[in-house]
Amino acid sequence: MQKVFAGVTLITSFYAACEPMPDDFMDMNQVLPEAIYDIRYYTDNNFVGMPVEGYLAPKCILQRQAGQALQNVAARVAEQGMKLKIFDCYRPQRSVAHFMRWAQDLSDTRTKEDYFPNLPKTKLVGEYIAERSGHSRGATVDLTLVRQNSQGDWEELDMASPFDMFDPLSNTANPTISSEQAANRQLLKGFMESEGFDNYSMEWWHYSLVPQPYTDTYFDFPVK
């Protein structure tokens, strides 16, 4: 079913679990197997504290233009001996609705210490959590860089705050972080901007392709 609100199209269905992925979306786990995938919302290791509705598999799905651009980023990153670590890509609208239900339940603060230690839960809706997310348009990705350590293990570059930490510390240009941490954020930013991605200044990990292939359509097919 297609719903339109104030010029915004939401692609939803009473049978959404069976809704197919559009032809111009791609499974990045297949086309970019060298990346590391840590799809948090498929697990309980996220700010909601449980698997998020709509994530039926730990996959990164992107609209084709964004996916091809991310492949180019990965090639540039590999030239520097690093890899991409991906936390989230396309996000169904039902997942966003799950976030909103969680945000409105002020009694649930189980994940506060890890994800919003310095903010009251009432401050999360707006700058961090909203009724619609650019992720649902299929051209936004949350990610970081990893490099091999002396033992050969791939570890994340120090970005000063972890993925999905709702805090001013996660603002990309936060002035209080170390010079090394700032340089790591700028390194990721440079790689992403080189292929047409733009950073959301509140979150160092959040990048969207510009221009967006879908400007006002928010999809709801499940990640599977």
Domain ranges of the chain: 2-218
pLDDT (average), residues 206-213: 97
What CA–CA distance (Å, rounded) separates 208 from 191?
Answer: 13
Predicted confidence at residue 70, as pLDDT, reads 98
Q: Which amino acid is at 73?
A: V
Q: Which amino acid is at 94?
A: R
- Assess contact for 207 and 143: CB atoms under 8 A: yes
Mean pLDDT, the chain, integer: 93
Q: Binding residue per annotation — 206?
A: yes
pLDDT (average), residues 203-210: 98
Predicted confidence at residue 156, as pLDDT, reads 98
| C-beta neighbour count of 91 within 10 angstroms | 27
CB-based burial, 94-132: b 16+ in 10 Å, e otherwise: bbbbbbeebbeeeeeeebeeebbeebebeebeeebbeeb
Residue of 191, 194, 197, 199 whose CA lies nearest to 210: 197
Confidence of residue 18 (pLDDT cuts 50, 70, 90): low
End-to-end CA distance of the chain: 20
CATH-assigned architecture of domain 2-218: 2-Layer Sandwich (3.30)
Q: Binding residue per annotation — 135?
A: yes
Residue of 207, 185, 184 whose CA lies nearest to 197: 207
Q: Kindly report whether the peptide bond that precedes residue 211 is cis, defined as omega within 30 degrees of 0.
A: yes
Phi, psi values for residue 2, rounded to 5°: -110, 130
Predicted confidence at residue 15, as pLDDT, reads 33
Active site residues: 203
Predicted confidence at residue 20, as pLDDT, reads 86
> Which ranges of the chain does DSSP label H, i.e. alpha helix?
28-31, 64-79, 93-104, 112-115, 179-193
- Assess contact for 70 and 28: CB atoms under 8 A: yes
pLDDT tens digits, 152-173: 999 999 999 999 999 999 999 9
Least confident segment among 10-14, 88-92, 99-103 = 10-14
What CA–CA distance (Å, rounded) separates 156 from 165?
Answer: 15
Q: Binding residue per annotation — 98?
A: no
pLDDT tens digits, 60-90: 999 999 999 999 999 999 999 999 999 999 9
